[in-house]
Amino acid sequence: MFSAAIFDMDGLLVDSERAIMNTWITVGLDLGIALSASDYLRIVGRSSTECELILTELLGGAATFREALARVRQHLSKPSVNPIFPLKSGARVGVLHFFKTIAGGDEVDRGKPDPAVYRLAAHRLGVPADACLAFEDSDNGAHAAASAGIAVVVVPDLKPPAAEVAELSFRILGKLDVAIEHVADWFTTRDTKFA
């Protein structure tokens, strides 16, 4: 039984990964570079610094990366009738008040699969790692949670979990909505904490 839940945001609660991936692929094509979905998947769940290094390599240099980044930011900042990053099924508007704290990748030195962001979240919740249950969509995120000593439920987004991630997972769910059926079995009290 667990007393705290920690949720990844990008790809799990907010459908951002697919929109960002498609934008990078489109911008790459505009610059004459064929980025594939599998190329993009190399950066999912990593820190900004790590993403920059990988994308610089994929795009053939720092100058092209900077140009592509400017175009990606411009595209993603355009006003739209439809949200660029819609909430995913299972994430509801008005849930932020349930979260006791937030821990972001920009607050730690290394991104996932490094466990630092999960350790920070557990610390802020005031709960030992083994009393937390993480919800993740990416292999890097699942590895980060497990390395922090936190059990992890994987809800895949862009790709199914790798075999070793499936092996280390507490559960694998097709959609986050399904988790609600397990709350009474997985969590100890009505005072469950969320990050």
Residue closest to 76 by CA, chosen among 23, 35, 18: 23
Joined tokens for residue 176: 């986050």
Confidence (pLDDT) at 11: 79
Joined tokens for residue 132: 């937390």
**Domain 16-77 - what CATH class?**
mainly alpha
The beta-strand segments (E) located in 40-191 are 132-136, 151-154, 171-172
Per residue in 74-106, pLDDT (tens digit) is: 988 877 655 555 555 555 545 566 788 888 887
Confidence (pLDDT) at 192: 66
Architecture of domain 4-14+87-186: 3-Layer(aba) Sandwich (3.40)
Q: pLDDT tens digits for the chain (195 residues)?
A: 899 999 998 878 877 788 889 999 999 999 999 999 999 988 876 778 889 999 999 999 999 999 999 999 998 887 765 555 555 555 554 556 678 888 888 788 888 899 999 999 999 999 999 999 999 999 999 999 999 999 999 999 888 999 999 999 999 999 888 888 888 889 876 566 776
CA 27 to each of CA 47, 52, 58, 61, 96: distance values in angstroms, whole numbers, following the listed order: 21, 15, 13, 15, 33
Joined tokens for residue 147: 């390395």
Joined tokens for residue 57: 């390599």
CB atoms under 10 Å from CB of 164, counted, come to 12
Confidence (pLDDT) at 17: 81
Q: Give the pairing type, strands 151-154 and 171-172.
A: parallel
Helix axes of 17-30 and 48-59: crossing angle, nearest 10 degrees: 30
The ranges assigned to domains in the chain are: 4-14+87-186, 16-77
φ/ψ bin of 62: left (φ > 0), alpha (ψ from -120 to 50), beta (otherwise): alpha
Confidence (pLDDT) at 127: 95
